[in-house]
Amino acid sequence: MRFESSGFLPAAAVLAVVFIVHTVWRNYRFNKITFSNINSLKKSGKSVFSQAVYLPDVLKIIGIILLVIALIRPQGIRKEDKEKIKGIDIIITLDVSGSMQAEDLKPNRLEAAKDVCRQFVSGLANDRVGLVVFAGKSFSQCPLTVDYEIVKNFINLMDLKTVRIDGTAIGEALLTSVNRLEASQGSKIIILTTDGRNNRGINPVAAAQVAAAKNIKIYTIGIGKKGGANMTFFDQYGIKRQAYDRFSGKQMKWEEPDEETLKQIAGLTGGKYFRAADEQALKDIYQTIAKLEKQEIQIKVYNRYIDRFWAFLLAGVLLLLTALVLEVFKYTRVLA
């Protein structure tokens, strides 16, 4: 319990004391003059106390005390904790070029990456997430949102035909992602997953420098096993076949990620580079990133105050009204 308007207490207390003293003194003088000899009281059959105590004045005194208490606003205290969580804005930037059909990750690189991205999004809370896809060109697949089901639906829709122009435009993909995050106010990160080398558009290192200038952190993931994955294709009958070089006769492989460039991109922006050689490694990488970017929960403790003065105010007013009614009733009887 506390009193919100305790500053009024001295003045209110003085007025209440003056009223109470005046009332008691008036009642004392009245009874002293009227009943100088208590023999008459004994004959009346009523106690000296019942004749000397004037009930309306007692009610007035109690009523005034209650009003004074109401005036200084008594409040109940309810302690509450409120979690204040600062969210992160995340852009998942995913390579959907032809090489993502390689099957060194099961069922293939793209499907493995999509599965991990869905799990990553499902584990988010209070963070906005968006999607950028790229091959020879890049575009925003989903804007920043906290509707994680929509994001997962967009992930499901990704395939090797999402971007019609083949190639690996890493720099352009980073700039598209940066543009999506430019208006964000909190922490901003890009998670770039690719299995190739930049062969179209702008230099990815230059794009990383732009991101760094805008305080955007980039985590890069090179996907694919060491040594590269065997290249396959479907023939005119829909049969999957191994690809061989027509001159050397050697089996062709998809090229490996450009690790040096991916490390440089991450280093320029304060992020990290990871290599995902299999499905479990890719899953572990996304979990690691989630832990690295986990924000501290700031718990703000505050007290909520609930006014209690209404009960005192109502009781005080009722007592004063009762005293007034009793005085009017007594005065009417005297006149009668």
pLDDT tens-digit series, residues 230-260: 877 666 777 777 777 777 778 788 888 999 9
Task: Please report, for residues 71, 171, 183, 209, 304, the alpha-carbon distance to residue 206 in angstroms, rounded to integers and kept in the order given.
Answer: 68, 8, 20, 5, 52
What is the distance in angstroms between the CA of the first residue and the CA of the last residue of the chain? 49
**Residues of the chain above pLDDT 90, percent:** 43
Distance CA 130, CA 119 (A): 14
CATH code that applies to domain 86-296: 3.40.50.410
Distance CA 207, CA 176 (A): 10
pLDDT score at 264 = 97
| Region 219-226 average pLDDT | 92
| Region 161-188 average pLDDT | 92
pLDDT score at 242 = 75
Distance CA 281, CA 164 (A): 29
pLDDT score at 82 = 58
| Region 26-31 average pLDDT | 57
Give the three-class secondary structure for 328.
helix
| Region 141-150 average pLDDT | 94
**Residues of the chain above pLDDT 70, percent:** 76
Distance CA 311, CA 135 (A): 71
More confident call, 56 vs 45: 56
Contact at 8 Å (CB) between 72 and 6? yes
Please state the domain extents for the chain.
Answer: 2-80+302-335, 86-296
| Region 146-171 average pLDDT | 94
The mean predicted confidence, pLDDT, of the chain is 81
Q: Is the pLDDT of residue 299 over 60?
A: no
Q: Is the pLDDT of residue 46 over 50?
A: no
The answer to whether the pTM exceeds 0.75 is no
Strand partners, 93: 132, 192
| Region 307-321 average pLDDT | 79
| Rama region for 236: left / alpha / beta (φ>0; ψ in -120 to 50; rest) | alpha
